[in-house]
Structures are given as C-alpha cells and as structure tokens.
C-alpha cells in the first residue's frame, strides 16, 4: 500500500491522493466484502448456481444482477425480507416502488384470497375491473383508463395511442429516462428498444428540449417524460421545464404523456399534479397492483375513447387492445383495496411528507461525514450517490465512483438494510420509526467506516 501511495503521490494534489488512496482501500475492501458475502450466503449461492442452468444470469430481472450473486429471498413480513440463509433485512428497496405497502398488508391479501376462492381466470367482465377504473379516474383526475400487465406495456400503449391519434411517428424522450424494458434511454436509445422513431433531448434543459420539439414540429406524435427520473437516479424534474415542454409539444400538435409508473405515489394525485403540470395521457404501474403485476394508461377521453369498441361508440375503426391478463381478477381486486382503502389520497399525502422528512434525515447523516456521498429524490423515493453533491442531470451519474457506490450497497447490507445496488431507497407504508432510525444508524456507520 505504501509503495502504491508513493507511486501515485508524485505530481498530484492532496485531494487526488486521498481519493486514490480511498479507491485503493475500497478495492481491497470490496474483494473481501464479496468473499464475506459469499461465505455468509451459501444457500443463495446454491440457488444462483442452479438457476443459471435454466435462466440466463440466474434470474429474469436484469436490475437484480450484482457481484458475486444476488440474495434469494424466502419470505417477507411488514418492512422486512428474509433470505434463504435465514438473514432478515429491513427492506428499503420496496421492490423499486412496487412494494410500497410492505409484505403483509392484510387488507389487500384477504380481499384477493376471497376473490380467488370464487373465481381465478374469469375470461369475462367482472365488477372489480370497473371499480378500479372509477377509483383511478377519481384519484388521478383522468377521464378514462385502460389496464395492462406492466408499466412497460402501459407506455407502449400510451405511445401507440399518440401515434394513431396524430398519424405521426416521432416520440420525444429524455436522456436518463426509463419507460420499461424496451424503452431505455440511459445512454442514448438502447439497441434493444422497441422500434419507435425516438428523438432524445436532455432532461431539465428547457431550451434544448424546445429546440428538438420545434425541429420536429410536423412529425412529432408525442413527448414522454417522467416527472422525476426514477431509474435514472431519482433526479426530480423542474416544474418550469415540464410545463414548457408540454406547452411546446401541444402547440405543435403532439400528445403529452407523463410516465408516473413510479411517481403516482406522491401527493394526492401524483407528482405531475404536485408540479402543476397536466398530461394528456399518463402511464401508471407498480404499487397500484398491491404486489400483483400491474400497468395502466389513462387520461383525456378524446385520446382514450379511441379504444371504445362498444356498439354505442359508433367508431368506424377503434383501436383493439387485447390482453388476456389486462383485467385479471387478482390485480383488479388488489388495486381496489390499494386505492380504495390502504393508500387513500390522505395517506399518500402524509406518506410524501414522511418521505421528505426521512430524506432530509438521510441528508443530515451524510452531511456529518465528508466522504463524497449525497442523496437525491422526492417524497418517499430517493437515491444515494457516490458523488459529493446530488446529480442535477443524468450525465452526472457517470461521474459516480463505482467502488464507493458498491460499498454503500454492501455496507448497508452487512448492517441489515437492503437497498438497490444503484443506491435507490424507497420508504414504504410498513416502515416503523424504529426501522427508519436503525437505517439512519446503519448509514452513519457505513459512512463513518469510510472516514476511518
């Protein structure tokens, strides 16, 4: 280590040297962390080795990949998860926002069990579908809604609606945006993206976005934007940016699509409403299904009624939107309990405030340790970053220190807190004050260990 330090010290300032020193320490520490992790989790390792024989990478959700292998979980209760080796963690990932309710919300589970005891795969219309439709329209201030099986599909159908409505092809999306597995814009448009004609503008950069809109004024079908980049690092959108983009898009005849798959949990009616910006169509997903596969897109009748295939509509060529599981009984029933009983507008509003307070507490813990870590986010969604100050734009994420980022994940895991490897943390309804305090203590301990 001393020889390494002497070699790197020549011609460099103190900060660079201490950064390199830290990086060297972290590398050594991470190798040990990986081997300790493997020793501590033999059953997860066995699961991984077996699963890889049949599933590429050992699982079917790429985001769960990390070295040396991901934990396999056996059960969950309230805000905790227990893995197959018997270790219990405070679950601060909350299934990337889908697990908002925690793991044992009886009001949802009991209703679903009862519904499934009457029927399983209905293959017809049933009351829970229309009830959830009404709950969503009332809650989010939309005229009509249609259900899908995932947020990816919700965005796919929202974009398709815009393409059919306008007769145009181009879709404006933003750098760092994620609208589903085939709508991934972390580094330009991913090569596996669905073959829409995308144009990309920088997030939170109004003049650049307006330029792209004006350059494509006659061909732009839609703009799709998250009010906060969720997968893209919990970077909140600025209200002025979002409203200017939607105003300019409307002016050229494009449809304004908000992707609130993650952010509809904020405030009484979602984050866009909190920011004072109105979409034509909004995509929903995640927690609304209460743990069951869910997606929906809804908005103004003039767009959604293109799907009206009823005899009354008199439409010559409505859009036919099939989907065996669109109105599946378990999701529809769970969704009714989620929006109607568990996560009411009052609860959502209070939870957003609780999330803001917790995020500020995280920031205060970080402020006590000078180790180049920061937190970003909004309400109950946040992300830890191996960056001295919170990212303002997606390209800032590239400058995160990857070793330090990984160290944050493993450091918290070793202290009993499970978060996303990329740093995302989501406060759920089941977290107790004690679990929140324990998480802050764990974070303080991890950051303190970096300082030593």
Ligand X SMILES: Cc1ncc(COP(=O)(O)O)c(C=O)c1O
Residues of this chain that bind ligand X (CB under 6 A): 96, 150-152, 155, 178-180, 226, 230-231, 259, 261-262, 285, 295
Residue 224 or 412 with smaller CB distance to ligand X? 224
CB 30 within 8 A of CB 59: no
- Give the torsion through C-alpha atoms of 306, 309, 315, 321, to 10 deg: 40
d(CA 155, CA 162): 11
Residue 29 or 231 with smaller CB distance to ligand X? 231
Q: How far is CA 331 from CA 99, 102, 148, 321, 336, in A?
A: 14, 16, 10, 18, 9
Residue 411 or 428 with smaller CB distance to ligand X? 428
Cβ at position 228, least distance to ligand X in Å = 9
HSE-CB for 320 with a 13 A CA cutoff = 4
Angle at 136 between CA 130 and CA 137, to 5 degrees: 90
Q: How far is CA 387 from CA 11, 23, 52, 402, 427, in A?
A: 24, 14, 34, 10, 22
Cβ at position 192, least distance to ligand X in Å = 14
For residue 80, list its beta bridge partners: 77, 90
Residue 149 or 439 with smaller CB distance to ligand X? 149
Q: Nearest to residue 171, comparing CAs of 241, 223, 117?
A: 223
Cβ at position 289, least distance to ligand X in Å = 9
Angle between helix axes 2-9 and 14-40 (nearest 10 degrees) is 150
Cβ at position 352, least distance to ligand X in Å = 17
d(CA 38, CA 181): 29
d(CA 134, CA 86): 42
Cβ at position 231, least distance to ligand X in Å = 5
Residue 156 or 249 with smaller CB distance to ligand X? 156
CB 372 within 8 A of CB 386: yes
Compute how many other C-beta atoms are within 10 angstroms of the C-beta atom of residue 364: 12
């Amino acid at each position: 280590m001393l020889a390494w330090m002497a070699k790197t010290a020549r011609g460099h300032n103190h900060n660079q040297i201490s950064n390199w020193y830290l990086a060297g320490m972290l590398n050594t520490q991470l190798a040990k962390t990986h081997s300790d992790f493997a020793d501590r989790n033999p059953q997860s390792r066995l699961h991984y080795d077996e699963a890889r024989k049949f599933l590429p990478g050992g699982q079917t959700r790429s985001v769960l990949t990390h070295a040396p292998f991901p934990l396999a979980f056996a059960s969950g209760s309230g805000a905790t998860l227990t893995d197959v080796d018997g270790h219990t963690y405070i679950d601060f990932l909350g299934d990337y926002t889908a697990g908002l309710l925690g793991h044992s919300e009886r009001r949802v589970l009991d209703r679903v069990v009862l519904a499934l005891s009457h029927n399983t795969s209905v293959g017809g219309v049933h009351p829970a579908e229309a009830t959830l439709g009404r709950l969503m329209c009332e809650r989010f201030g939309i005229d009509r809604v249609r259900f899908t099986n995932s947020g990816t599909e919700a965005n796919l159908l929202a974009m398709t609606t815009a393409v059919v409505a306008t007769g145009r092809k181009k879709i404006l999306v933003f750098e760092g945006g994620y609208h589903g597995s085939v709508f991934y814009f972390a580094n330009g448009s991913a090569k596996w993206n669905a073959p829409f004609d995308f144009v990309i503008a920088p997030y939170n950069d109004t003049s650049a976005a307006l330029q792209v809109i004006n350059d494509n004024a006659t061909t732009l079908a839609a703009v799709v934007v998250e009010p906060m980049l969720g997968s893209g690092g919990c970077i909140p959108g600025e209200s002025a940016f979002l409203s200017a983009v939607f105003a300019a898009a409307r002016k050229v005849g494009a449809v304004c699509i908000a992707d609130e798959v993650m952010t509809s949990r904020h405030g009484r009616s979602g984050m866009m409403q909190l920011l004072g910006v109105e979409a034509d169509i909004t995509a929903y997903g995640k927690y609304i299904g209460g743990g069951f596969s869910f997606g929906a897109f809804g908005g103004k009748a003039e767009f959604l009624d293109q799907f009206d295939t009823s005899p009354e509509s008199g439409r010559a060529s409505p859009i036919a939107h099939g989907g065996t599981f669109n109105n599946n009984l378990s999701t529809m029933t769970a969704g009714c309990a989620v929006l109607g009983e568990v996560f009411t507008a009052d609860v959502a509003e209070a939870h957003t405030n609780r999330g803001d307070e917790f995020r500020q507490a995280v920031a205060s813990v970080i402020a006590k340790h000078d180790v180049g870590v920061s937190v970003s986010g909004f309400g109950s969604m946040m992300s830890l970053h191996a960056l001295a100050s919170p990212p303002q734009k997606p390209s800032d994420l590239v400058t995160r220190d990857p070793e330090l980022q990984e160290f944050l994940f493993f450091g918290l895991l070793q202290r009993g807190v499970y978060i996303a490897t990329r740093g995302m943390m989501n406060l759920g309804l089941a977290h107790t004050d004690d679990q929140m305090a324990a998480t802050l203590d764990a974070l303080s301990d991890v950051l303190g260990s970096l300082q030593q």
